[in-house]
């Protein structure tokens, strides 16, 4: 059973957050990669991507939780 439309996240907001997170990462100077600012931006991007991915799978399959691959 698919959730009610009111329960669904806003896809446009999720896509915008992912774009902003990527933009933040790209704005960081190469000398700062690996530092605190980079780690914060990287975490934001990963979280935004995960939410976007879950949204797309919910739209396609009607499910929210997806077993993700563990990447080192």
C-beta of residue 54 within 8 angstroms of C-beta of residue 64: yes
Phi, psi (rounded to 5 degrees) for 34: 100, -15
pLDDT digits (tens, 9 = 90+) for 12-68: 899 999 999 999 999 999 999 999 999 999 999 999 999 999 888 888 876 555 556
- In the chain, where are the structural domains located? 8-61
Is the CB of residue 1 less than 8 Å from the CB of residue 62? yes
Rounded to 10°, the helix 36-61/11-26 angle is 150
62 closest CA partner among 8, 17, 6: 8
Residue 11 confidence (pLDDT): 84
What pLDDT shows up at residue 16?
A: 92
Residue with tokens 């933040």: 24
């Amino acid at each position: 059973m698919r959730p009610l439309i009111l329960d669904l996240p806003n896809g446009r907001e999720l896509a915008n957050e992912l774009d902003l997170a990527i933009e933040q990462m790209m704005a960081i100077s190469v000398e700062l990669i690996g530092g605190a600012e980079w780690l914060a931006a990287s975490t934001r991007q990963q979280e935004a991507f995960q939410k976007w991915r879950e949204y797309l799978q919910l739209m396609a399959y009607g499910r929210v939780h997806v077993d993700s691959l563990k990447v080192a």
